Structure 1
Amino acid sequence: MGLIVDQTQNVFKRGLRAIGLIGALAAILALAGCGGLDLGGVFKDSGSGGFGGNAPSQNVTPAKVALLLPLTAPGRTANIAAAMKKAAEMAMIEAGQTNVTLITKDTAGNPQTAAAAAQAAIAEGAEIILGPLLGSEVAAVAPIARGRNIPVIAFSSVSSVARPGVYLMSFLPEQEVSNLLRHLSQSGIQTIAAMIPNSQYGNVVERALKTSAPVMGVTIVTTVRFNRNGQNLSAVSARIARAVNSPTNPARAVFIPEGGQILRSIGTSLTQAGFSPKSAKVLGTGLWDSPLTTGTPIAFGGWYAGVSPQKVQAFDQRYSATYQTKPPRIASLAYDALSLTLSFARSPIGTRFTPTQITNVEGFNGVNGLFRFRPDGRIERGLSILEVSAGGTKVAAPAPTQFSLGF
């Protein structure tokens, strides 16, 4: 495997462990796909003899890759960062022999430290930066990297920090909405009512809805905002019920980008207002990706866009086998970012980590499925459509295996 330089602990790790044949096969199967560049090509078990594309190309200069994460940030952020660091190292472990040196630096969860970490990494020869995680950190790192023509693949879900040269390896709400509305239109449902929370997240989702709806041929019948403290929930629910029960132009779907206990409260309020899920398809976002949703009747039969449970489970099992603990979902982003970087690193200096390479229109297949980066830095994902029931979540429509014209 390559060299992992962990400068957050000032230790060097080589040959953490050899991956067995079963592990290599699992990695290949988890990343297999029909379209785009298959990241599985960077994996090979040295004893299998069957999987190529992993050993460094002849006469290619080794690459230094920086990984910036808030490892000492307050609260849960540090735990999430630690899991992402482990996931990136797992990609190195599974890759076996590579020509990449991974340099990890702590951003501490603040822009000033992130900027200093980026400057140090570039001074040490980093050709590409993976991370940071937080939007404010990404904004601080971006001008430093741009000034040295160093690409950044960050993990923030704040789409406004994306720009040419700063790519977001994340789960953007905008992508969830566009995938969902595409499936809605294909299912023959073309009118929708939206119940949007008064929050920053709500603002992002509403913009995405208004952008995607006309493109997908979906008409927004009404949009109402509600307070998350429940103060105006009854009045908002009554408006949604009227839109669904309208005799002239009824909404055949209701979009509720909210989850947890608040979604349960919304369900109760809508029922009291005369709404029935039998009258309109209920839709959500990634906030529905919670065990609470399968115990929320208003969501039963509802759809949201996300990664299939099978893909999530496959990555979780491999991570758990390596580290004896279950990863947070976001850890998979670091794995895919490092795997993608390993595949790029096989090219010579001057042709690797270029905008053309990173924004390959055919995209890539990672542990979360199909994705590609736009020239403006935002990510596009091919997501499954998931359906909620009391027994769990199932795939209502599989994710695309390749990006088609007009996706």
Structure 2
Amino acid sequence: PIVAFSTDRAVAGNGVYLLGIMPDQQVDRAIAFAARRGLGRFAALVPADAYGDTVLDALERASGRHGGAVVRIVRYAPQAGEWREPVLRLAAFGRPVGGSAPPFDAVFIPQGGPALRRIAPLLAYHDIDPGEVRFIGTSLWEEPDLGREPSLVGGWFAAPSPAESAAFLARFAEIYGRRPPRIATLAYDAVALATALAGAPGGADFSPAALADPSGFAGVDGVFRFRPDGIAERGLAVVEVEADGLRVIGPAPRTFERLTN
């Protein structure tokens, strides 16, 4: 078997297992959480690229699955670096003259980094108030200082639980003097997986059946298990952006027992 860090579904299967944290699982976790809190009308501000296609498809599927709907989609060219025009298109949707709350409960913004930090304040400036409309993202939002942008405070995203990886991140920073790249935790989990399979009671077992153990494995990013198609299913947390950091508001499952039984 080959264990890869990719999120490209096209390469999964036939002995290839992907440890990557799949965007569609992040979207489904966040939307399910939002739906349980009464949010059902979603707008989306999504890049016009392959990543945007993936997360938009996931958003439409997740919103339908959890009783909601995507009521407005705005695509934009991410390489252009022009955010005002797509934000204006989103802000103008369905808003009566004289203004009122937008006809959606949440805005899905899948990008992170500098793009997110430019988009969010523009939304707030053009009357998409984060106090009325929830901003929802993906694990690309996983930056400890994200709350320095006031318009992102209160935003939600799904990602591996920070509590699970805290010790690893602290140890890495102590040794190397910097925060590790996201791939570092995947590499750690791959080694932990190999160690668990090598130490099986009956001897080392790297068979497809062992890799697809429905009980899964415990990694630094939380629990995960491989589906028959080679994709890793993960237990994800829902995280809220606060002014001074990130806070878990929807804990990640610690086992797959409830899903299996």
TM-score range, shorter chain: 0.7 to 0.9
Q: 2:222 aligned with 1:369, yes or no?
A: yes
Q: 2:71 aligned with 1:221, yes or no?
A: yes
Give me the whole-angstrom Cα distance separating, in 2, the residues matched to 1:306 and 1:355: 27
Q: 2:234 aligned with 1:384, yes or no?
A: no
Aligned residues with identical type, % of pairs: 38
- Shift, 1:157, TM fit: 2.4
* 1:357-379 CA distance string (max 9 Å, x none): 11122222211112111111111
Q: Indicate the residue corresponding to 2:259 in structure 1.
A: 405
- Provide the secondary structure at the position in 2 that maps to 1:258: coil
Within a 5 Å distance, the mapping from 1:347-358 to structure 2 comes to 347=200, 348=202, 352-358=205-211
Seen in structure 2, the aligned counterparts of structure 1 residues 155 and 212 have a Cα distance that, compared at 3 Å, is same
What's the C-alpha RMSD, in Å, of the aligned pairs? 2.6
Preserved CA contact (<8 Å) 1:244 1:250: yes
Q: 2:35 aligned with 1:185, yes or no?
A: yes
- Shift, 1:344, TM fit: 1.3
- Provide the secondary structure at the position in 2 that maps to 1:268: helix
Q: Indicate the residue corresponding to 1:202 in structure 2.
A: 52
* 1:54-91 CA distance string (max 9 Å, x none): xxxxxxxxxxxxxxxxxxxxxxxxxxxxxxxxxxxxxx
- Shift, 1:381, TM fit: 1.0
- Provide the secondary structure at the position in 2 that maps to 1:405: helix
Give me the whole-angstrom Cα distance separating, in 2, the residues matched to 1:317 and 1:271: 34
Seen in structure 2, the aligned counterparts of structure 1 residues 374 and 243 have a Cα distance that, compared at 3 Å, is farther
Q: Indicate the residue corresponding to 2:160 in structure 1.
A: 307
* 1:148-192 CA distance string (max 9 Å, x none): xxx111111223221242111122212211211121122221111
Q: Which has the larger radius of gyration?
A: 1
1:298 to 147, 151, 154: 151
* 1:248-298 CA distance string (max 9 Å, x none): 992111101112222222123223322111221110112211245222222
**TM-score scaled by structure 2?**
0.86
Q: Indicate the residue corresponding to 1:276 in structure 2.
A: 129
- Provide the secondary structure at the position in 1 that maps to 2:104: coil
Aligned partner of 2:250: which letter?
A: A
Seen in structure 2, the aligned counterparts of structure 1 residues 353 and 289 have a Cα distance that, compared at 3 Å, is same
- Provide the secondary structure at the position in 1 that maps to 2:84: helix
Give me the whole-angstrom Cα distance separating, in 2, the residues matched to 1:287 and 1:345: 33
Seen in structure 2, the aligned counterparts of structure 1 residues 406 and 338 have a Cα distance that, compared at 3 Å, is closer
Within a 5 Å distance, the mapping from 1:23-38 to structure 2 comes to none
Give me the whole-angstrom Cα distance separating, in 1, the residues matched to 2:173 and 2:125: 44
Q: 2:65 aligned with 1:236, yes or no?
A: no
Q: 2:110 aligned with 1:257, yes or no?
A: yes
- Provide the secondary structure at the position in 2 that maps to 1:237: helix
Preserved CA contact (<8 Å) 2:235 2:254: yes
Seen in structure 2, the aligned counterparts of structure 1 residues 174 and 202 have a Cα distance that, compared at 3 Å, is same
Give me the whole-angstrom Cα distance separating, in 2, the residues matched to 1:388 and 1:249: 22
Give me the whole-angstrom Cα distance separating, in 2, the residues matched to 1:377 and 1:244: 43
Preserved CA contact (<8 Å) 1:234 1:273: no
Give me the whole-angstrom Cα distance separating, in 1, the residues matched to 2:24 and 2:15: 20
- Shift, 1:243, TM fit: 4.5
Q: Indicate the residue corresponding to 1:287 in structure 2.
A: 140
**TM-score scaled by structure 1?**
0.57
Preserved CA contact (<8 Å) 2:214 2:260: no
* 1:169-223 CA distance string (max 9 Å, x none): 1222122112111211222211111110123321221122223222222211111
Give me the whole-angstrom Cα distance separating, in 2, the residues matched to 1:242 and 1:345: 58
- Provide the secondary structure at the position in 2 that maps to 1:192: strand
* 1:326-361 CA distance string (max 9 Å, x none): 432321211111111222123457x81122211122
- Provide the secondary structure at the position in 2 that maps to 1:290: coil
Aligned partner of 1:238: which letter?
A: L
Seen in structure 2, the aligned counterparts of structure 1 residues 190 and 244 have a Cα distance that, compared at 3 Å, is farther
Give me the whole-angstrom Cα distance separating, in 1, the residues matched to 2:156 and 2:101: 25
- Shift, 1:245, TM fit: 5.1
Preserved CA contact (<8 Å) 1:177 1:285: yes
Q: 2:187 aligned with 1:337, yes or no?
A: no
Q: Indicate the residue corresponding to 1:69 in structure 2.
A: none
Give me the whole-angstrom Cα distance separating, in 1, the residues matched to 2:102 and 2:193: 47
- Provide the secondary structure at the position in 2 that maps to 1:189: coil
Within a 5 Å distance, the mapping from 1:8-47 to structure 2 comes to none
Q: Count the aligned residue pairs.
A: 254
Seen in structure 2, the aligned counterparts of structure 1 residues 284 and 362 have a Cα distance that, compared at 3 Å, is same
Give me the whole-angstrom Cα distance separating, in 2, the residues matched to 1:356 and 1:272: 53
- Provide the secondary structure at the position in 2 that maps to 1:396: strand
Give me the whole-angstrom Cα distance separating, in 2, the residues matched to 1:268 and 1:319: 33
